[in-house]
Amino acid sequence: MATPSMEDYLERIYKLIDEKGYARVSDIAEGLEVHPSSVTKMIQKLDKDNYLIYEKYRGLMLTPKGKKMGKRLVERHQLLENFLTTIGVQEDNIYKDVEGIEHHLSWDSITCIETLLEYFRREPNRMDDLMNVRKDLEAES
């Protein structure tokens, strides 16, 4: 089972490989705001746990297990960003809030949020109702 820290690394590595075609220790360290030595230790752990294959001085490749998990984590992050945007969270707070909650929700909760977003997509009037309720509550405060 991946820890929240492992998930952060896998998500970052997956995104780098998707965007650039590769993931270097320095890019991972910069993106996660950690020291390169910490990245190297985590890469070794992810290699040991079969999420990636790491060859010193040659780089790394995600295994099918790592690709699947990385893709799932990126999709979870995007889903939560969409959810917070949909319910009206201020844009300045969204990234920080997603980072704060993404590791604390079960996959069951993620699926329920996904279902709720799909409901709002299919029933746009319900979105209007939600925003009206929000306005009413703000007016009462």
Instruction: List, for residues 73-123, the tens digit of each pLDDT value.
Output: 999 999 999 999 999 999 999 999 999 999 999 999 999 999 999 999 999
Q: Is 27 annotated as a binding residue?
A: no
Span 39-59, average pLDDT: 92
Alpha carbons 139 and 46: distance in angstroms, whole number: 50
Supply the pTM of this predicted model. 0.87
Q: Is 8 annotated as a binding residue?
A: yes
What are φ and ψ of residue 51, in 5° steps? -90, -25
pLDDT band at residue 141 using 50, 70 and 90 as cut-offs: confident
* Percentage of residues of the chain with pLDDT beyond 90: 89
Alpha carbons 13 and 87: distance in angstroms, whole number: 29
Q: Is 7 annotated as a binding residue?
A: no
Q: Is 104 annotated as a binding residue?
A: no
* Cβ(51)–Cβ(58) below 8 Å: no
Greatest pairwise CA separation for the chain in angstroms: 61
Give residue 23's identity as a one-letter amino acid code. Answer: A
Beta bridge partners of 55: 59
Q: Is 99 annotated as a binding residue?
A: yes
Helix (H/G/I), strand (E/B), else coil: 54: strand
Beta bridge partners of 59: 55
Q: Is 138 annotated as a binding residue?
A: no
Span 36-52, average pLDDT: 96
